[in-house]
């Protein structure tokens, strides 16, 4: 068994090692390239305060860039017996550069090292989530505009209620994503603060330049108080999880609608044949498995904030190993959510809409309010108009042209999709991903 970074004269029991390391080696592969980025910023700062020479810094940066490239190619691994990504990177540097490799940990703890790794990983993943949501949003707005004049029943209590439209249906989910993006932006802002330099949560006697590492890594600001920087672990993940759960909630509801509206009892939409699955016994089946799995996966994602809260609840200030377990539920969730968004985007872009739903007179009663309002406009008191239409329906005398004339903002005839799109674009611009990209490229020497 390889010696731990923290081991001295006594080697840890093998079973204790297995239990305490847990899934860290697998989870740390998510963080590998961000660990390298954080180390590059840290050692650049160490050179500026004379804890490394310019020559040592040059050698270390060159090797770290090679490690980063190997990670991007998928060649990096954490070797058997190596505890975590931090140990692996330091080991690789020491093999190549000798004692110089051992100097990168000055002024740093694995506590603030994993904190910065998590922040860098999370902000990169949030960017990808935003890009996926953006694609889905534009598909939904496009479909809303395309089918704005196609009416469908609206429901309350799963009873037919009032006229709706596919313009409203698609557009509603688009606007829901606007609110989700606001939540994502708040999570991004909380995430994009630098904890590096807080060490084990109590700072360092070295004159660390935390402003410098903040700038090098493209953070908006630092987590100033070193105790709070450590207290922020778990809190950041929980807040991000709430934002991801918000997106997942929108997708889950849309998935339910798609499953229900594509069933023969409704027949409002038809899913692309290539996106459905069959039955081993019933040759006619075309099952909406993608949306059923999306619904289940997104409902699971909506439980993530509670899982994180239960892990971190009632911990006092300072670091505790409990926090390690958060990585196991948090790091993989981004891939799961991105997969669900992409599947939803693909199908919603190809879904077929039934333009003749209301030809069936079983939906005639949804126009009852239209008729009540028509009578009110003619001077009939609302309560009298309501009673007359209700009695006509009971007696089977009700009829209507099946046309609607809604003009107020956000209604069938005035979707406000342009304003929804403007709001969405303003939220996207507010992330300012370009500043982070520029900082990371500069650190890696990849500037154009």
What is the per-residue pLDDT across 289-341, written as a single tens digit (0 to 9) for each? 999 999 999 999 999 999 999 999 888 998 888 999 999 999 999 999 999 99
Confidence of residue 267 (pLDDT cuts 50, 70, 90): very high
Specify the pLDDT at position 10. Answer: 61
Residue 352 β-bridge partners: 270
Select the more confidently predicted residue: 44 or 9.
44
Question: Where are the strands (E) in 252-347, listed by range?
Answer: 269-270
Q: CA 3, CA 432: separation in Å to the nearest integer?
A: 43
Query: Which residues, other chains included, contact 252 with Cβ-Cβ below 8 Å and sequence gap of 6+?
Result: 294, 295, 298, 299, 302
Q: CA 170, CA 267: separation in Å to the nearest integer?
A: 16
pTM: 0.93
Confidence of residue 1 (pLDDT cuts 50, 70, 90): very low
Q: Of the residues 39, 106, 144, 157, which is catalytic?
A: 157
3-state secondary structure of 209: coil
Confidence of residue 12 (pLDDT cuts 50, 70, 90): low
Question: Where are the strands (E) in 170-304, listed by range?
Answer: 193-194, 221-222, 269-270
Q: CA 166, CA 147: separation in Å to the nearest integer?
A: 6
Q: CA 357, CA 147: separation in Å to the nearest integer?
A: 13
Cα-flanking dihedrals φ and ψ of residue 23, to 5°?
A: -95, 15
Confidence of residue 279 (pLDDT cuts 50, 70, 90): confident
3-state secondary structure of 311: helix
User: Around 354, how many Cα atoms within 13 Å sit in the side-chain half-sphere?
Assistant: 18
Do residues 352 and 269 make contact, with C-beta atoms less than 8 angstroms apart? Answer: yes
- Judged by average pLDDT, the poorest of 120-129, 251-260, 281-290 is 281-290
Specify the pLDDT at position 6. Answer: 44
3-state secondary structure of 9: coil
Confidence of residue 27 (pLDDT cuts 50, 70, 90): confident
pLDDT greater than 80 at residue 90: yes
Do residues 89 and 35 make contact, with C-beta atoms less than 8 angstroms apart? Answer: yes
Residue 400: other Cβ atoms inside 10 A: 16
Mean pLDDT estimate for the chain: 94
Q: Of the residues 221, 252, 262, 279, which is catalytic?
A: 279
pLDDT greater than 70 at residue 102: yes
Residue 152 β-bridge partners: 164
Confidence of residue 81 (pLDDT cuts 50, 70, 90): confident
Assigned token pair, 263: 């069933």
The mean per-residue pLDDT over the stretch 212-235 comes to 96
User: Around 55, how many Cα atoms within 13 Å sit in the side-chain half-sphere?
Assistant: 2
Q: CA 306, CA 308: separation in Å to the nearest integer?
A: 5
Do residues 166 and 143 make contact, with C-beta atoms less than 8 angstroms apart? Answer: yes
Assigned token pair, 165: 């439209």
Torsion angle in degrees (nearest 10) through CA of 248, 297, 346, 261:
-80
The mean per-residue pLDDT over the stretch 203-226 comes to 97
279 catalytic? Reply is yes
Nearest of 180, 340, 178, 177 to residue 255 by alpha carbon: 340
The mean per-residue pLDDT over the stretch 26-30 comes to 89
Assigned token pair, 329: 């539920």
Q: What is the pLDDT of residues 373-413, one digit of tens each?
A: 999 999 999 999 999 999 999 999 999 999 999 999 999 99
406 catalytic? Reply is no
Q: What is the separation, in whole angstroms, between the first and last Cα of the chain?
A: 44
Q: CA 375, CA 362: separation in Å to the nearest integer?
A: 23
Query: Which structural domains are found in the chain, ordered by start?
Result: 14-106 (1.10.275.10), 111-359+416-444 (1.20.200.10), 361-395 (no CATH)
Residue 139: other Cβ atoms inside 10 A: 21
% of the chain with per-residue pLDDT over 70: 96
Query: Which residues, other chains included, contact 258 with Cβ-Cβ below 8 Å and sequence gap of 6+?
Result: 269, 271, 288, 291, 347, 348, 351
Specify the pLDDT at position 127. Answer: 98
Q: What is the pLDDT of residues 205-214, one digit of tens each?
A: 999 999 999 9
Q: CA 386, CA 375: separation in Å to the nearest integer?
A: 9
Q: CA 36, CA 85: separation in Å to the nearest integer?
A: 9
pLDDT greater than 80 at residue 18: no
Do residues 168 and 412 make contact, with C-beta atoms less than 8 angstroms apart? Answer: yes
Specify the pLDDT at position 383. Answer: 97
Specify the pLDDT at position 420. Answer: 98
Assigned token pair, 41: 């910023």
Specify the pLDDT at position 3. Answer: 55
3-state helix, strand, coil split of the chain in percent (to 5) is 65, 5, 30
């Amino acid at each position: 068994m390889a010696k731990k970074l923290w081991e001295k004269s006594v080697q840890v029991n093998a079973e204790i090692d297995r239990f305490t390391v847990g899934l860290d080696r697998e989870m740390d592969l998510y963080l590998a390239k961000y660990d390298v980025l954080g180390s590059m910023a840290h050692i650049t700062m160490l050179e500026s305060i004379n804890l490394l020479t310019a020559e040592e810094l040059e050698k270390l940066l060159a090797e770290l860039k090679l490690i980063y490239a190997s990670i991007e190619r998928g060649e990096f691994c954490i070797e058997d017996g190596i505890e975590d990504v931090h140990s692996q990177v330091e080991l690789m540097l020491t093999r190549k550069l000798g004692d110089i490799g051992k100097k990168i940990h000055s002024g740093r703890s694995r506590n603030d090292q994993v904190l910065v790794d998590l922040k860098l990983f999370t902000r990169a993943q949030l960017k990808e989530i935003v890009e996926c949501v953006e694609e889905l949003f534009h598909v939904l707005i496009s479909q809303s505009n395309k089918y704005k004049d196609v009416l469908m029943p609206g429901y309350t209590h799963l009873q037919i209620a009032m006229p709706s439209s596919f313009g409203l249906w698609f557009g509603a989910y688009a606007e829901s994503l606007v609110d989700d993006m606001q939540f994502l932006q708040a999570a991004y802002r909380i995430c994009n603060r630098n904890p590096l330099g807080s060490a084990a949560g109590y700072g360092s006697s070295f004159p660390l330049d935390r402003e410098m590492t903040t700038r090098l890594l493209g953070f908006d600001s630092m987590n100033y108080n070193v105790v709070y920087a450590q207290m922020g672990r778990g809190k950041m993940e929980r807040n991000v999880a709430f934002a991801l759960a918000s997106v997942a909630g929108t997708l889950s509801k849309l998935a339910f609608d798609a499953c229900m509206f594509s069933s023969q009892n409704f027949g409002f939409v038809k899913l692309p044949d290539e996106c459905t699955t069959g039955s081993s016994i019933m040759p006619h089946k075309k099952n909406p498995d993608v949306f059923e799995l999306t619904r289940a996966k997104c409902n699971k994602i909506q439980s993530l904030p509670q899982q994180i809260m239960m892990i971190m609840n009632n911990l006092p200030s300072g670091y505790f190993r409990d926090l390690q377990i958060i990585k196991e539920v948090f790091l993989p969730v981004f891939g799961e959510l991105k997969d669900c968004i992409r599947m939803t985007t693909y199908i919603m872009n190809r879904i077929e809409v039934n333009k003749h739903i209301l030809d069936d007179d079983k939906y005639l009663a949804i126009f009852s309010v239209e008729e009540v309002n028509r009578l009110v406009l003619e001077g009939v008191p609302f309560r009298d108009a309501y009673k007359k239409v209700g009695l006509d329906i009971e007696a089977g005398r009700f009829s209507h042209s099946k046309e609607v004339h809604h003009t107020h903002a956000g209604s069938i005839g005035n979707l406000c999709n342009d304003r929804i799109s403007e709001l969405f674009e303003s939220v996207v611009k507010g992330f300012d991903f370009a500043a982070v990209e520029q900082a990371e490229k500069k650190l890696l020497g990849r500037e154009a």
